[in-house]
Amino acid sequence: MKNYQRIKKQRVHDFIMFKNGINHNTIKKKTSEISNLLNFIIWNIMFFSLFPLASASIASFVDINYVSYTDLYDAILNTFFPIFFVIFLNASGKDGSIKNIVLPLLDDVLYNMITWMIPLVVSFAYDDLMNIKIFSIINMCLHVICAAFAIIKWKRINYDDDDDDDVNNFMSIFFFLIIFPVLVIPIFWIIIITHKHTFDSISIIFLILFGICLVSFVLITIIFITMKSDNVVKWRIVYVLIIICFYVPNILQTLLITLFWPINFYFVKACVFILILSLTRNVSYFVDKVPGNFLATSTTFTQCMIKLFTKEDSTEVLRGIPISIEEIHEKQKTMQTKIDEIDEKQTTMQTTTQTTIDDMQKVMQAKMDEIQKTMDEIKTSVEETKKNSTKG
């Protein structure tokens, strides 16, 4: 009985302790939540109170004198150039594609910008460049006439036309765009550099490079006069020299202007961007197949001719408007196939005709034999009749 009462008291004591523990934990949890809420409110008040202090001062690593215009312009051009590279490098397209018209026009615009527009802008920006202004205006008139003539004709690279006047006019444009850059541009800038009387390292380098362009023109003239037309080495040398004549002078002119007469950062960056974009388009004529219905502008025609000069004999090139090498081979295969078909038809017709003649001869011979046999029978019967009548 005593043990039972002791156990009962122990259970009552344990229940009271458990109940007190639960009450203590509940109170402690509520107290902790209140404390956390107060801490959250206090820390937020302290954090947001720091903003007025931060706005009142500038960090030590901030450059307040920095202007981001030039770098932003540079970054935009560097970002968009790969996009233009992908779009404008691919000259190959389907027949009737708008790219076959837009890209040749773009090539003309870029070439004219490099040839005369950049020097003309510089001549108006500086007061003492009257000679460059006159040169740029004459240059502009000549190139605009060539470009306008080709655009007005609105011919395609592989057009079939028996009009020799158009062919001769396009060939005149080709020779002008080859001879003018390599002869007139180097001579003009050599005179400008020597007239300045400041022969630093950059001036000497440009004098040497422009001199190489003039030497290239002289070499082409000598090669055409002295060497035979079937000489392979001759044409390989001519290929390289023609590329130098058309492309190098304008590149040197643009670099010279950006070094000696830089208007500002934006002008230099724009000149380099136009030059690189133009070179990108120029490369496409040698790495891509030029579509047959590519618009034959002045620069497009010239570069297609240069491409043919690098891959075909000149006697084949000068026969008319240039077309791609692949199209020449395709046309040759098509013509050969048609010739084979015609030969096959002729052979079939000859065989059929001979068979028909043989059959007709056999039929006629059989009929002749039948007629001869009938005549023999008639003759025999007549003779028998005569014999019988004689006996009677």
The CB-side HSE value for 185 (13 A sphere, CA atoms) comes to 33
Chain centre distance of CA 120: 28
Q: Tokens 């773009």 — which residue?
A: 106
Instruction: Supply 45's token pair.
Output: 């008040």
The CB-side HSE value for 262 (13 A sphere, CA atoms) comes to 10
Q: What is the pLDDT of residue 345?
A: 67
Residues 22-80 pLDDT 10s:
455 555 555 566 666 666 566 556 555 554 544 445 566 666 777 777 777 777 777 77
Enter the DSSP assignment of 230.
T
H or E, element range at 371: helix 325-391
Q: What is the pLDDT of residue 41?
A: 66
Residues of the chain falling short of pLDDT 50 = 2-4, 12, 15, 18, 22, 51, 53-56, 91-93, 312-325
* Vertex 138: Cα angle to 137 and 143 (nearest 5): 100
Q: What is the pLDDT of residue 256?
A: 93
Closest C-alpha among 276, 284, 280, 240 to residue 255: 276
**For residues 158 and 323, is the Cβ–Cβ distance under 8 A?**
yes
pTM for the predicted model, two decimal places: 0.62
3-state secondary structure of 97: coil
What is the rounded distance in angstroms from the CA atom of residue 157 to the CA atom of residue 322?
Answer: 6
**For residues 262 and 70, is the Cβ–Cβ distance under 8 A?**
no
Q: What is the pLDDT of residue 367?
A: 73
First-to-last alpha carbon distance for the chain, in angstroms, is 185
**For residues 252 and 182, is the Cβ–Cβ distance under 8 A?**
no
Q: What is the pLDDT of residue 211?
A: 93
Q: What is the pLDDT of residue 297?
A: 92
What is the rounded distance in angstroms from the CA atom of residue 339 to the CA atom of residue 353?
Answer: 21
Enter the DSSP assignment of 64.
T
